[in-house]
Amino acid sequence: MKKIPFITKEKAQEIAQKYPTPFYLYDEKGIRDNAKAVKEAFSWNPGFKEYFAVKATPNPYLIQIMKDYGCGCDCSSMTELMLSDAAGIKGRDIMFSSNDTPAQEYAYAARLGAIINLDDITHIEFVEGILGKLPETMSCRYNPGGVFKMSNGIMDNPGDAKYGFTTEQMFEGYRILKEKGVKNFGIHAFLASNTVSNEYYPILAKELFELAVQLEKETGADIKFINLSGGVGIPYTPDQEPNDIRAIGEGVRRVYEEVLVPAGMGDVSIYTEMGRFMMGPYGQLVTKAIHEKHTYKEYIGVDACAVNLMRPAMYGAYHHITVLGKEDAPCDHKYDVVGSLCENNDKFAIDRMLPKIDKGDYLVIHDTGAHGHAMGYNYNGKLRSAELLLKEDGNVQMIRRAETPGDYFATLDCFDIYDKLAI
């Protein structure tokens, strides 16, 4: 799959005059087309809802685009709940899926009317103690343990994950919740991350549907929804084929009719919580080459660094790079593309074959729309970049300004030293 920049070199130069590099750029048309495709892929299920994973790209402008297509929000912290509320997403349109959760966050989620998705059986008593009475609708996160396999091998290892109820705890937990007055139940599970396979959701769905049938039969709980969570990935490398969300939706439908419908559970709603799939391909980090270094290797230094995009430094993750204006030039130079942090893992690419890069060239780092800006930090006193939205009409709108030294020092404003800082 060819990686195509959203903008030309000339457009990057124009934008940079107003919003200096580095900056994040999101493609509104791509986001909208994808959200529409997801909605259509699951339209066979009347209760379907995508709860966009706020952690992936916590920007209210982008959340409001999702809202146009009926999406809710999946939140895992107080500030994500606050952000969703501010963006006009409230009540049952919020799914609160947290772990090791402070009491005040459960209280706030309940105050908003969010659906609380419990991560551990001990949290039943914990939440009851906070709220006095449990909500009528609650969900439990399931972890089957062991390893999760598909036809192409082991996908992940749920048994090592800190999340979720064991199988036995699901049955016990449902009985306890039912005794405490919960009337409407949900099941949630996340068993593999960034799967580039149309098989993942249908295989996960079959496992959860079969569990739901047993839970309802043995506990008498009225299961209203099954949340397939996230895990539907994107092709970071050009040789990967993207997931076909319509084929995925059809696969889930077939399993639904095979397992749930014969069990008299054909009214169960399907929920998803995709962040990476919803936003990942529709964000790009634009940065400028500012230095070149010729030592034991060839280096290109850019004005972005790992505080702008942590994934390559943290995971060794691959992100494709395009040099604007040189899209068709031969990739006959081997570079490490690096940032300015005092850490040797601050590299966007290692031994990457690219066209010859000159100082002043603009580089586009692809597929950064999810878990990109959101994972930013301030090591070395570095400041996070602006986020921009490329509108469908070609105009650019700032949807988050770049940080300033004043932002960095703001938490010192309770001390006299703050008055001496030149900001």
- What residues act catalytically? 342
- Count the residues in the chain: 423
Map tokens 């349109």 to a residue: 93
Map tokens 């991560």 to a residue: 119
Task: Name the amino acid, one letter, at 391.
Answer: K
Cis peptide before 5 (omega within 30 of 0): no
Map tokens 């130069």 to a residue: 13
Map tokens 């105050």 to a residue: 111
| SS3 of 383-421 | CCCEEEEECCCCCEEEEECCCCHHHHCHHHCCCHHHHHC
Helix (H, G, I), strand (E, B) or coil at 20: coil
Between CA 239 and CA 247, with CA 243 as vertex, the angle to 5 degrees is 140
**How do 298-302 and 333-338 pair as beta strands?**
parallel
Q: Give the separation between CA 170 and CA 40, rounded to whole angstroms.
A: 32
**What phi and psi values does residue 246 have, to the nearest 5 degrees?**
-70, -40
The tokens describing 5, both together, are: 């920049």
Cα-Cα-Cα-Cα dihedral of 10, 15, 18, 23, to 10°?
Answer: -130
Contact 25, 7 (CB under 8 A): yes
